[in-house]
Amino acid sequence: MTSIVIPAHNEARVIGRLLEALLADSGEDDTDIVVVCNGCTDGTAEIAAGHGPRVRVVEIPVPSKHAALRAGDDHALGFPRLYVDADVVLTSAGVRALTGPLTDDASGVLATAPARRVPLRGCAWRVRAYYRVWQRLPAVREGLFGRGVIAVSKEGHARIAALPPLMADDLAASLAFTPRERRVVDAAEVVVRPPRTWRDLMRRRVRAAVSTTQLEQRQGPGGASARTGVADLTALLRREPELLPCVAVFLAAAFLARRRAAKAVREQDFGTWLRDDSSRQD
């Protein structure tokens, strides 16, 4: 049986749309869904429980994604296993597409993630410009991070279960596998809602800058990286020179994020979570 673990902290506005998509067109014995409400003060648990007996709700008092994932593992029944952020949308067909390569012993694939669709309608123009560049970067296209979903086999699960608590948990999980061991499955699609405002984009980018630094400190010199280099942006402009204004916005966001993240990095504050609520609007 495929198990789906959904860590959820105050996700009452969005948990319903994810569960409805996962439950539609799937049999009673197809999936085991565990929603781990961590430190919730809203109606997340009640809404999740209202989707019937196929959704099991676990509540823990600590608002911690890492603790929620571990609690989900304690209650999940089988493999392959998916970890799904509460604010994305993934269908039951997408789940089946993701688990296919993981059940094929000959594939050598230990971890999969879906293709990413980022609807930019309603976003500020600088946010749209930023994502026009970000979505074209090689590391973003090929990595499993930034999708809100990762699926692993039993062997793959052992690999990520050994990782320490990190803010950049999806990036760390992606880098834990070689390119041959991980696969982006185009037949599965996840809707990842972007921030709508420049302010909320910067909150995400500051969080990313802090969490990437934490990961690099843990890895030490020579560790795998997914940072964007000058060569990546140069190659992009050679292919699509009309993106020059968008690249300028991208660089401005990167510069400002690193500058604003510097204080947290100096103080080794890797626990403050800068949440973007604009992406959780319908």
Q: Using one digit for the tens of pLDDT, what is the confidence trace for 1-24?
A: 899 999 999 999 999 999 999 999
Task: Give the position of tokens 């699960």.
Answer: 157
Whole-number pLDDT of residue 208: 86
Per-residue pLDDT at 165 exceeds 80: no
273 or 50: which carries more pLDDT confidence? Answer: 50
Whole-number pLDDT of residue 225: 61
Per-residue pLDDT at 196 exceeds 70: yes
Rounded to an integer, the average pLDDT of 101-118 is 94
Separation of alpha carbons 86 and 112, rounded Å: 18
Q: How confident is the model at residue 66 (pLDDT cuts 50, 70, 90)?
A: confident
Whole-number pLDDT of residue 221: 55
Separation of alpha carbons 135 and 110, rounded Å: 24
